[in-house]
Amino acid sequence: MNQLFKMAFRDLGRNRRRTFFSALAVGVGLMLLILMASVINGEMGGAIESAIRLQSGHIQVRAASYDENKNSLKWEDLVENPDQIASQIAALPQVAAATPRLYASGFLATGNESAGVSIYGIDPASAANDPYRVGLLKGSFLTADDSSGLLIGQPIAARLHLNVGDNVSLSVNTANGNVEEQTFTVRGIYSTGTYGFDNATVLLPLAKAQAITQTQNHASTIFVLLKDTSATDSVVAALKSSNGLKVLTWRDLNPLVLQWESLAQSYIGLFYMIILAITASVIINTLIMSVYERTREIGILSAVGMRGSRILGLFLTESSLLAVGGVIFGVILGLLAVYLFNIHGFYIGNMGLSGILVSDTIRAKPILNDFINLSIATFIVTLLSGLYPAITASRLEPVAALRAEK
Amino acid sequence: MEVVKVENVTRAYQVGKVETQALRGVSLSIENGEFTALVGPSGSGKTTLLQMIGCLDQPTSGHVIINGKDVTSLNRNQRADMRRGTIGFIFQFFALIPTLTAYENVEMPLLLNGHSAKERHDRVMELLKAVDLEERANNRPDQLSGGQQQRVAVARALSIKPSMILADEPTANLDTTNGQQVMEIMQKLNKETGVTFIFATHDPRVIKYAKRVVTLRDGLIVENNGNSVKA
């Protein structure tokens, strides 16, 4: 075994440049796999995190008849006394924040420009609204008793040429089906780094939103953030037993993101296979060339009594050494690529999918398990790639092999 | 005692649609300790006959018996086992493994036969001394001359203490001095160890070393040690 290993090692050293580039090919393949997996993790994790943080929360409690696609403002479709319910939910130990929100549709207009918007009536004091507070680019955040101020996202401000202090006309649907129009002052401009959200959402204090939509002491939902996502089901169980409202989880509220994740996983599987197939073809090519170049040597080994199985073992040892070298290369290159990707990020701006909150900058999120699994997969594929050349070598007839040109 | 017995062996090769008869019914018996030359012009069947005796190839018909065992119908692995334990080879080209040192090349058959490290070391050094290459034990083939490489090949062939050594044109790629040196070493080892040597050649300078000369022509033995043989 030791001699076999020694021979395999020296055989690879015969043509160092070819061996180096073959191992490098394996390494580059693994690097691409690691980078792709990390980017997908970063992007999918980011999309789900954005959706939870900005839009769905971990859990929402709504009236049973509420239809979010219609943004209904009828009292029977809303949660009554939302502050009281939010306080009860916030008392649960797993809950980080619970706050009422009122959703409405509206129309923002300046002198000669306008835009359709989603209106979020929020409790400015709640920690659940930190993403907007932290993302404030200009001006000041809302206060609960502000009756004429609103916050707009940066893309809307750019589109309507609005700045802090400007007045803007907001038309809003009301509970009785009418449209109410009032003039508001832009208190601040925010950016959550998620174009899809920032381009469509106007924030008002909850009390003002309730007043303008005539939904006194009602909210569309109780928005709940948990300390840990994994506690979702246990909190849902606790809430379901306590009242007759509808309790929805982030999974129920973000089906598109989850479908997209599932689709992305399928595509990444295909991508993995393509890269591994290319890697395998490089290794097969390298080892087949090696077999042809060493046909006479194989004949000599056979003549001195080496069985086909040992010749097979010799070539498989070579492919496993190549695999080890390639995996080491790949892990180093993969770490470097992920590091560089995270330093610079990849700015996609507003190229995200409609309906999915994608960050405007893609970053990679490496996961140890991916490193381990992809390294093992690359090792196995490289080893298996050596099988065909190894079988070819082991089946050479000694007489034919000895006749081969050196 | 008879080491090799070849009974009416034929070997036909199919090249495209043409069948070539390399051996056309050869019978031969070789006793233990012989130093026998198979001679004849190119294409006479010398190498093919050596390959049959060496279990590197199988006859189309007839039988090859080595040490009383019929090896004609052995499978690949059984033939490899037979070569590993019984037969040493010396080829026309300097058939060493280029990535291994002279020491490791001689050691290879011993490793395959499962000898202990000490046994291997003692045997390899003994043989390298016998072929006067003790000092070059750690040199790789590309650091040795053609004659030195062929002497390493002789040492390797002897390493397992085989019943016989088959040498195919062992001096064809050597100059006169080196060729002579290799033949003298082979002759000396034949006398000292009693191992049977069978070598194929058409070089008259080599033939003179043989105790017995078997002449082939067109796939048939036409003369056996001076006695003509009828087909």
The per-residue pLDDT string of chain B (231 residues; one tens digit each, 9 = 90 and over) reads 889 999 999 999 888 888 888 999 999 999 999 999 999 988 899 999 999 999 999 999 999 999 999 999 899 889 999 999 899 999 888 789 888 899 999 999 998 888 999 999 999 999 999 888 999 999 999 999 988 998 999 899 989 889 899 999 888 888 888 888 888 888 988 998 889 999 999 888 888 899 999 999 999 999 887 676 665
Question: Rounded distance, CA B10 to CA B60, Å?
Answer: 5
Q: What is the pLDDT of residue A165?
A: 93
pLDDT score recorded for residue B230:
60
Over 70: is that where the pLDDT of A355 sits?
no
For the stretch B132-157, pLDDT in tens is 899 999 999 999 998 899 899 989 99
Looking at residue A15, its pLDDT comes to 81
CA B72 to chain A, closest CA, distance in angstroms equals 15
Other beta carbons within 10 Å of A10: 15
Inform me whether the C-beta atom of residue A194 falls under 8 Å from chain B C-beta atoms: no
For residue A351, name the pLDDT band (cuts at 50, 70, 90): low
- Residues B138, B142, B148, B150: what is their CA dihedral angle, to the nearest 10 degrees? 110
Three-state SS across A39-66? HHHHHHHHHHHHHHHHHHCCEEEECCCC
State the CB neighbour count (10 A cutoff) for residue A166: 14
User: Which residues on chain B place their C-beta less than 8 Å from a C-beta of chain A?
Assistant: 51, 54, 56-57, 76-77, 80-85, 89, 91, 93, 95-100, 104, 107-109, 111-113, 156
Is pTM, for the whole model, over 0.90? Answer: no
**What distance in Å separates the CA atoms of residue B72 and residue B58, rounded to the nearest whole number?**
6
Q: Which helix (H) or strand (E) holds A279?
A: helix A255-293
B188-206 b/e with 16+ CB inside 10 Å = b? ebbeeeebbbbbbbbbeeb
Q: Distance of alpha carbon A23 from its chain centroid, rounded?
A: 30
Q: SS3 letters for B84-121?
A: HHHEEEECCCCCCCCCCCHHHHHHHHHHHCCCCHHHHH
CB contact, 8 Å: A306 with chain B? yes
* β-bridge pairing B61-66 and B69-70: antiparallel
B85·A305 Cβ contact <8 A = yes
B74: nearest Cα among B52, B46, B50 = B52
Distance from CA of A306 to the nearest CA of B (A): 6
Q: How many CB pairs under 8 A join A and B?
A: 70
Whether A357 shows a pLDDT value over 80: the answer reads no
Give the distance from residue A25's alpha carbon to the nearest chain B alpha carbon, in angstroms: 25
- At residue A1 the predicted structure's pLDDT band, cuts being 50, 70 and 90, is low
Q: Residue B29: phi, psi to the nearest 5?
A: -130, 135
Q: Assess A16–B contact: CB distance below 8 Å, yes or no.
A: no
- Classify each residue of B102-126 as buried b or exposed e, where b means 16 or more C-beta atoms within 10 Å of its C-beta: bbbbbbbbbbbbebeeeebeebbee
Q: Which of B80, B107, B109 sits opposite A302 (nearest CB)?
A: B80
The Cα A150–Cα B170 span in angstroms is 99
Tell me which DSSP letter residue B199 carries.
E
Q: Residue A351 is encoded by which pair of tokens? A: 């190229």
**Model pLDDT, residue A279:** 85
Give the integer Cα–Cα distance in Å for A182 and A121: 15
CA B112 to chain centre: 19
Distance in Å, alpha carbon of B104 to nearest chain A alpha carbon: 9
Cα–Cα distance between B76 and B119 in angstroms, integer? 28
Strand partners, A116: A107
- Could you give phi then psi for residue A327, rounded to 5 degrees? -65, -40
What are the φ/ψ torsions at residue A175 (nearest 5 degrees)?
-60, -30
- Least confidently predicted of A102-106, A107-111, A330-334: A107-111
Instruction: Provide mean pLDDT across the span A184-201.
Output: 88
ipTM for this prediction: 0.87
DSSP code string of A302-362: HHTT--HHHHHHHHHHHHHHHHHHHHHHHHHHHHHHHHHHHHH-EE-TT-SPTTS---SEE
What is the rounded CA–CA span in Å between residue B66 and residue B72? 10
Selection from B137, B135, B145, B139 nearest residue B103 by Cα: B137
- Asked if residues B106 and B127 have their Cβ atoms less than 8 Å apart, the reply is yes
Q: Could you give the count of Cα atoms lying within 13 Å of B161 in the half-sphere of its Cβ?
A: 8
Q: Identify all chain B residues contacting A402, using CB atoms and an 8 Å cutoff.
A: 56, 91, 95
Q: Please state, rounded to an integer, the average pLDDT across all residues of chain A.
A: 86
Contact B77 A14 (CB under 8 A): no
Spell out the long-range contacts of B181-190 with Cβ–Cβ below 8 A and sequence spacing 24 or more. Answer: B181/B147, B181/B151, B182/B147, B182/B150, B182/B151, B182/B154, B183/B209, B184/B209, B185/B130, B185/B131, B185/B132, B185/B151, B185/B154, B186/B35, B186/B154, B187/B35, B189/B130, B189/B154, B189/B158, B190/B33, B190/B35
Q: What's the pLDDT tens digit per position in A275-290? A: 889 888 888 888 888 8
Give the Cα separation of A306 and A291 in Å (integer): 16
The region of weakest confidence among A152-166, A351-365, B94-108 is A351-365
* Subunit contact A398:B56, Cβ cutoff 8 A: yes
Q: B186: Cβ–Cβ under 8 A, 6 or more apart, which residues?
A: B35, B154, B165, B167, B170, B197, B199, B209
- The string of pLDDT tens digits covering residues A290-326 is 888 888 888 888 888 889 889 999 889 988 998 999 9
Residue of B77, B93, B109 lying closest to A304 (CB–CB): B109
Test A7 with B97 for CB contact under 8 angstroms: yes
Residue that wins the pLDDT comparison between A322 and A240: A322
Q: Do B91 and A406 touch (CB under 8 A)?
A: no
Rounded to whole angstroms, the Cα distance separating A123 from A349 reads 29
To test the contact with chain A by mutation, choose from B112, B124, B142, B156 the residue with the greatest count of A C-beta atoms within 10 A, namely B112
Residues 265-304 of A with CB under 8 A from B: 296-297, 300-304
Angle between helices A2-14 and A16-50 (to 10 degrees): 90
**Is the pLDDT reported for residue A243 higher than 70?**
no
| pLDDT at residue A255, rounded to an integer | 78
Using the predicted structure, report yes or no on whether residue A257 has a pLDDT greater than 80.
no
Q: What is the pLDDT of residue B79?
A: 92
DSSP annotation string for A150-181: EEEEHHHHHHHT--TT-EEEEEEE-TTS-EEE
Minimum-distance CB partner of A305 among B57, B107, B109: B109
* Residues from chain A contacting residue B99 (CB–CB below 8 Å): 7, 10-11, 13-14
Which H or E run contains A249?
strand A246-249
Residue scoring higher pLDDT (A240 or A89): A89
Rounded (10°) angle between helices A308-344 and A295-303: 140
Instruction: State whether A303 and B54 contact (CB < 8 Å).
Output: yes
- Chain A residue with Cα closest to B99: A10
pLDDT at B216: 93
| The pLDDT of residue A358 | 61
Q: How many residues does chain A have?
A: 406
Residue whose token pair is 């496993």: A320
Which among B77, B81, B83 is the nearest to A303, CB-wise?
B83
User: Residue A84's Cα: distance from chain center in Å?
Assistant: 35
How much is the pLDDT for A242? 55
pLDDT band for position A196 (cuts 50, 70, 90)? confident
H/E segment holding residue A20:
helix A16-50
pLDDT at A265 (0 to 100): 79
